[in-house]
Amino acid sequence: MYDVKSMKAEEFISDEEIQATLKYADENKDNMEVVDKIIAKAKLGKGLTHREASVLLACDNEAKLQEIYDLARQIKEDYYGNRIVLFAPLYLSNYCVNGCLYCPYHAKNKHISRKKLTQDEIRKEVIALQDMGHKRLAIELGEDPVNNPIEYVLESINTIYNIKHKNGAIRRVNVNIAATTVENYRKLHEAGIGTYILFQETYNKEGYEKLHPTGPKHDYAYHTEAMDRAQAGGIDDVGLGVLFGLQMYRYEFAGLLMHAEHLEAVHGVGPHTISVPRVKKADDIDPDAFDNGISDEMFEKIIALIRVAVPYTGMIISTREGKAVREKALEFGISQISGGSRTSVGGYVEEESEDDNSAQFDVSDRRTLDQVISWLIDLGYVPSFCTACYREGRTGDRFMSLCKSKQILNCCHPNALMTLKEYLEDYASEETKVKGMAMINEELQKIPNEKVRRIAAEHIADISGGKRDFRF
Ligand code: SAM
């Protein structure tokens, strides 16, 4: 039944295969010969299969766990270096016809205030985001064919890309909307989106159907096969994710890796990103109603193992998590974070008031973007606003080959430094500017190629002189 190349959800995410994987993991988790062999393979930096990674997830030997964490840190350093990409979510509409039990947008929630931004309101939100320093957005919408048709999404993307305000610019719009048709994916591709993101929520079909009792999202196969349709529509950067807490984490972990293997086997390129959201409190939603919540320790282990299993895939963590968890997550594999986020529709312009309940979930990290940038610098990470790859056409397998060839120090690193410099010039507080400049001077020396190093230094000087938007 299990067939990684099948185009049918129930065959590439075969329940039978996941059950067999969990059994295999339980049988081998204390077999140190097997565990060591898997760790040795992981050390080659070429990833692990869902079965191998599941054995490590089940293993609770302290010494082996330490080896896994060290390896996750190493792999992150090798492929992604010390750069962290920043983005912000932009909620356009919370109208929704689905019945997702964990989401406050669900259609039966009559007391949430429903909002949909007009193009003028979008302009104001985007200007507020540009004034914070953001260059990369993820737009978020509920599913509602009448209120949020694809035309509205396309018009909004066009509006966002065309706002020119001071030195601000949104250079990459990622899109997180419900599963749709090949034709609509093609339209999104033509509108110039970055990554198409769709969280699977859960890979367990039975659990999925119960958690999505009504609305188009109820259809497990249509949802699970969405990334294949996105690829058929020309989108080769797709982002996966599981909403941890809904179902058993071990099942989700195996399913997530099987989905990544499927994309790689069929389209020759795995997921561009993997997100790791956990269910949060929200209007009408009590996260304790789902009895599969995972501890912070298990969450960190999952992040480290995703890093080890799919070394070339970017990993995203949002402000659903607080500072302490985010700090650990950065260490073990996260390469992209949001900062200064508002999860309510219109939240960047209007201060979120007590009686506004339109937010999608409670934000745990409420720091401003400048505070997040300052914190990253203190931790030794280079905050990056880079959007170069996709603008240079380095998407899909072309991005992956850059990552695999470890050429990022000559490409992503200077791009990160140049975009950080723009941020420091245009938006940073004085304190952040001082330490950011010191970091740029130090990090420039790490660019191996002499010519690239010289050009990057020249561009950084030009940014002080008022020029913008350099990239390799
Ligand atoms: N409506 C789109 C869909 O169906 O995929 C995507 C947009 S939705 C705004 C983005 C994601 O938020 C969902 O995929 C879900 O994983 C997550 N989410 C929903 N309710 C949540 C909650 N209570 N806590 C944390 N995340 C939640």
Span from the CA of 287 to the centroid of ligand 1 (angstroms)? 13
Residue 403: per-residue pLDDT: 77
- Strands, E assignment, 63-142: 83-93, 136-141
Residue 409: per-residue pLDDT: 76
Span from the CA of 233 to the centroid of ligand 1 (angstroms)? 23
Quote the tokens at residue 187: 């339209």
Q: Which residues contact 414 (CB under 8 A, 6 or more apart)?
A: 444, 447, 452, 453, 455, 456, 459, 472
All residue ranges of the chain with pLDDT < 50 are none
The closest-lying atom of ligand 1 relative to the alpha carbon of residue 280 is 24
Ligand 1 is surrounded, with C-beta below 6 A, by 102-103, 140, 142-143, 176-178, 198-199, 201, 217, 243, 277, 279-280, 282, 285, 320, 360-361
Instruction: Find residue 238's DSSP bridge partners.
Output: 196
How many angstroms separate the CA atoms of 330 and 304, rounded?
10
User: How far lies 394's CA from each of 113, 335, 387, 425, 472, in Å?
Assistant: 40, 18, 10, 27, 11
Q: Tens of pLDDT along 196-209?
A: 999 999 999 999 99
Residue 407: per-residue pLDDT: 76
The closest-lying atom of ligand 1 relative to the alpha carbon of residue 198 is 5
Residue 353: per-residue pLDDT: 63
How many angstroms separate the CA atoms of 446 and 432, rounded?
21
The closest-lying atom of ligand 1 relative to the alpha carbon of residue 285 is 23
Residue 152: per-residue pLDDT: 98
**What residues does each domain of the chain span?**
9-76, 83-366, 389-464
Q: Tens of pLDDT along 61-99?
A: 999 999 999 999 999 998 889 999 999 999 999 999 999
Residue 227: per-residue pLDDT: 98
Residue 440: per-residue pLDDT: 98
Q: Atom 4, ligand 1: which residue's CA is nearest?
A: 178
- Please tell me the number of Cα atoms within 13 Å of 200 on its side-chain side: 32
Q: Does domain 83-366 have CATH number 3.20.20.70?
A: yes
Q: Tens of pLDDT along 324-365?
A: 999 999 999 999 999 999 999 999 998 756 667 778 788 899
CA 434 to chain centre: 29
Instruction: Find residue 175's DSSP bridge partners.
Output: 139, 196
Q: Which residues contact 394 (CB under 8 A, 6 or more apart)?
A: 388, 402
- pTM of the predicted protein model: 0.97
